[in-house]
Structure 1
Amino acid sequence: MSELKSDPDKVWPTGFTEAESEEIHRNVIQGTQIFGFIAVLAHLFAYIYSPWLK
């Protein structure tokens, strides 16, 4: 824990640098977008195969 406080480039409590944090954030956002696209596509295919609310 004292290592994080002594290194000014690391951000507490994660221990990542600003650049590492931004990279992880980009990957999380991209993964969420991909997941959302797949979910929309799956719902579209499910609706085409068996329309609901008709």
Structure 2
Amino acid sequence: MADDPNRVWPSGLTTPEAEELQQGLVEGTRIFGLIALLAHFFAYVYSPWLK
């Protein structure tokens, strides 16, 4: 792995591989955030102790 100049230390991924992985992480975080936002909204609407 240390002999390949296209691989970045410490992950061993190439730059395009790292960018693809990071894009998936960002997209997953956005989906999680949207689900959490909806869950909090519904909890606010349907929870009697918050009104």
TM-score (norm 2): 0.89
Indicate the percent of aligned positions where both proteins have the same amino acid. 54
CA separation in 2, counterparts of 1:14 and 1:35? 25
CA RMSD between the two structures: 1.0
Task: Name the aligned partner's letter for residue 43 of structure 1.
Answer: H
5+ residue gaps, structure 2: none
Counterpart of 1:26 in structure 2 is: 23
5+ residue gaps, structure 1: none
Aligned counterpart in structure 2 of residue 13 of structure 1, from 5, 10, 24: 10
CA separation in 1, counterparts of 2:2 and 2:33? 38
TM-score (norm 1): 0.85
Size of the aligned set, in residue pairs, is 50
